[in-house]
Structure 1
Amino acid sequence: HRMLDHYLHTAHQAAALTNPSQILISLTPPAEGAHTEDFAEDTRRAAGWFSAEQAVLLAAVEQAATHRYDAHAWQLAWAVNDHLHRRGLWQDQEAVHLAAMEAALRLGDPVAQAHAHRGLAAATTDLGRLEEGRVHAERSIELLTDSGDRGACAESYNYLAYVAGRQGDLEDALGAVQRSLAIYRADDDSGGDDSRRRTAVAATLNGVGWFHTRLGQHQQALDHCQQALALQQELGDDSSAADTWDSIGLALHHLGRYDEAVTSFRNALDLYQQTGGPPWYTAAALGRLGDTYLSAGQPDAARAAWTEGLDILEQLSHADAEPLRVRLRRLDEPSGPSKAERRGADS
């Protein structure tokens, strides 16, 4: 019990530091004599602990489930979820949440089941099982709506937006993220402390902007993303600001403001490097930067950005590597890229 409490309470603290927009779950106090690591608000130390203890944390979820420490099982899965996602360890992410779901069902706890559904939504979506991911996201929302846990419900709407966006259902994705934003704004207590709720609002504003630009509504996108960025800079949330700079770059690209778009993408890339963002986020931003360089009439710069992004994706064996290979091949064809490709495709 002390061992599981050590990993659970330490992982909870690390999750709070490494993902400041995440709505935290509540834990019971640790057993007497259990020791918890103290990261002293140091995000890098927390991220390093996750990496160092990754194998142990996966085993801890398994052991907790095996020995019927069911609350520990689902809460540990929750705590390690964002780390596994950001490292692209989606099979491990699915495995811990399957164990979490079994534990939550044994407990008869609908909120625990909702969190397990949410983790499974993310994992199955990233593993390419989009319909399955959507079912999990929608079930998570249903359970949290019934429970009245508004902050967690808002988070699950963001997961639904992620799945719907991957499916190409952009109207539904925008509607889901707008619903999330409305919940955060309507309920000051939804996220516990105010700074964490405001961080969640900022990240969700960026999500609204992202789907506006995916729908061709680029000025609306820019307006929302600039609001998000101002709040993130006020809060010192560099990790989420990287995503927002990337969204701003895409909106500016489609508004024909190529120099500003390049600057925005470069800001995103700098922050991804500083904060240790997921490598495929960096690769995606490099792909969009290459699109902008091509549209601005700088094919050599486009080639350099796409080549750098492709190197990252090939190391990950990521499915998005092939579109970059196609762009690079077409860039070297005698006829050059088409007019549409010179404008840059949404990605």
Structure 2
Amino acid sequence: HRMLDHYLHTAHQAAALTGTARVLISLTPPAEGAHPEDFAGDTARANAWFSAEQTVLIALVEQAATHHYDAHTWQLAWAIASHLHICGLWQEQKAVHLAAMEAALRLGDPVAQAHAHRGLGVGAPGLDNWDEARGHVERAIALFTEADDMGACADACRTLAWIADQQGDLEGALVAAQRSLDLYRALCLGADDNRGLLRIAAGLNSVGWSLIMLGQYKQALDYCLEALDLYQRLGDETTEAHIWDSIGHAQHHLGQYDEAVTSFRNALALWQQQPVSASWLTADTLMGLGDAYLSLGRFDAARIAWAEGLDVAERLGHADAGAFRTKLRGLDESGVPSA
């Protein structure tokens, strides 16, 4: 029990530092004799701890489930979910949240079930199961709403916006993103609520991305720049990278190709500070960077970006590997020589 409390409370603290746009769950105090680590607000230390303890944390979810420490099971899964997501560990994400779901059902706790559904929804797209992902996240939203846990509901709506976008349901994505933003704004306590303001910024970026997909590029850029201003004032490099990526896409569609290159490279610089620099998120940004270079006629730079993205995608088993191959093949077939 002390060991599980040590890891759970340490992972919860690390998750609070490395994922500031996510609404935190509440924990009971650790057992007497348990001594969680203290990161003293140091995000780099928290990221390093997640990387060092990753294998242990995944195994602990299984051990907690085996011995029916059910609250520890679903809460540990919640605490490591963002780290697994950023690292592209989707099989592990699925496994820990299946264990979390079984534990939540044993507890009869609908909020725990909702968190498990959202975790399964976040992980399923990495395995190319978008319909399954949407079903889990929609169920999470329903359960959070019934429990009046509107902060977690806002997080789940933001996840739904991402999934709907990937399914081609662009209007549905915008509706979900806007609901997320509205809920974050309603829950923010004021100018001194830094976590609340960071969630608003995440919501702004989600709406901005949905508008990009709908072709409303100027309006989208306004949302994303507002989000960037909040993040740069408050600080969260992971989500700031997402915002730079969105800005790059909007600028590209507005014909601001040089600015788009700068934005994508800003995103890459931030991704590469994460615990796994060659993450699937890096691959997504490399795709956009190559597109911007192509629009500038910088064919060699585009080839380099896409080749790097292909290498990342192949190592992670990412579904975009095929898209990178298609783009590189298109360059070769166009007769553009390499340097």
Q: How does 1:91-240 map to 2 (within 5 A)?
A: 91-189=91-189, 194-240=193-239
Please give the alpha-carbon distance, in whole angstroms, between the structure 1 residues aligned to 2:253 and 2:130: 28
Match of 2:30 in 1: 30
Match of 2:63 in 1: 63
Deviations 1:166-203 (A, max 9, x none): 2111111111011000011112259xx82111111111
Deviations 1:47-99 (A, max 9, x none): 11112212221221112122221111111110011111111111111111111
User: Which consecutive residues of structure 1, in runs of 5 or more, have no partner in the other structure?
Assistant: 337-347
3-state SS of paired residue (1:36): coil
Please give the alpha-carbon distance, in whole angstroms, between the structure 2 residues aligned to 1:106 and 1:317: 34
3-state SS of paired residue (1:148): coil
Please give the alpha-carbon distance, in whole angstroms, between the structure 2 residues aligned to 1:188 and 1:312: 37
Instruction: Give the TM-score taking structure 2 as reference length.
Output: 0.95
Please give the alpha-carbon distance, in whole angstroms, between the structure 1 residues aligned to 2:125 and 2:267: 24
Deviation at 1:278, TM superposition (A): 6.3
Match of 1:84 in 2: 84
- Aligned residue type for 2:219: Q
Please give the alpha-carbon distance, in whole angstroms, between the structure 1 residues aligned to 2:91 and 2:189: 34
Deviation at 1:40, TM superposition (A): 1.5
Match of 2:48 in 1: 48
Please give the alpha-carbon distance, in whole angstroms, between the structure 2 residues aligned to 1:181 and 1:36: 34
Match of 1:339 in 2: none
Report the identity percentage: 64
Deviations 1:110-157 (A, max 9, x none): 111110110011112221111111111011000110111110110010
Match of 2:4 in 1: 4
Match of 1:340 in 2: none
- Given that 2:272 and 2:278 are in contact with CA atoms closer than 8 Å, whether structure 1 keeps it comes out as no
Please give the alpha-carbon distance, in whole angstroms, between the structure 2 residues aligned to 1:203 and 1:334: 39
Q: Does 2:288 correspond to 1:288?
A: yes
- Given that 1:265 and 1:285 are in contact with CA atoms closer than 8 Å, whether structure 2 keeps it comes out as yes
Deviations 1:256-280 (A, max 9, x none): 1111111111111111112446622
Deviation at 1:230, TM superposition (A): 0.3
Please give the alpha-carbon distance, in whole angstroms, between the structure 2 residues aligned to 1:202 and 1:253: 22
- Given that 2:121 and 2:132 are in contact with CA atoms closer than 8 Å, whether structure 1 keeps it comes out as yes
- Over the aligned positions, Cα root-mean-square deviation in angstroms equals 1.6
Q: 1:249 to 1:32 in 2, by over 3 A?
A: same
- Aligned residue type for 2:147: S
User: Which consecutive residues of structure 2, in runs of 5 or more, have no partner in the other structure?
Assistant: none
Please give the alpha-carbon distance, in whole angstroms, between the structure 1 residues aligned to 2:123 and 2:237: 25
Deviation at 1:283, TM superposition (A): 1.6
- Aligned residue type for 1:132: E
- Matched residues, number: 334
- Aligned residue type for 2:233: E
- Aligned residue type for 2:329: R
- Given that 2:174 and 2:207 are in contact with CA atoms closer than 8 Å, whether structure 1 keeps it comes out as yes
- Aligned residue type for 2:312: I
3-state SS of paired residue (2:31): coil
Which has the higher mean CA deviation after the structures are superposed, 298-307 or 224-233? 298-307
- Aligned residue type for 2:295: S
Q: Whose relative contact order is higher, 1 or 2, with alpha carbons under 8 Å and at least 6 apart? A: 2
Please give the alpha-carbon distance, in whole angstroms, between the structure 2 residues aligned to 1:158 and 1:85: 15
- Given that 2:290 and 2:302 are in contact with CA atoms closer than 8 Å, whether structure 1 keeps it comes out as yes
Deviation at 1:220, TM superposition (A): 1.1
Deviation at 1:335, TM superposition (A): 5.8
Q: 1:107 to 1:293 in 2, by over 3 A?
A: same
- Given that 2:87 and 2:280 are in contact with CA atoms closer than 8 Å, whether structure 1 keeps it comes out as no
Please give the alpha-carbon distance, in whole angstroms, between the structure 2 residues aligned to 1:26 and 1:189: 18
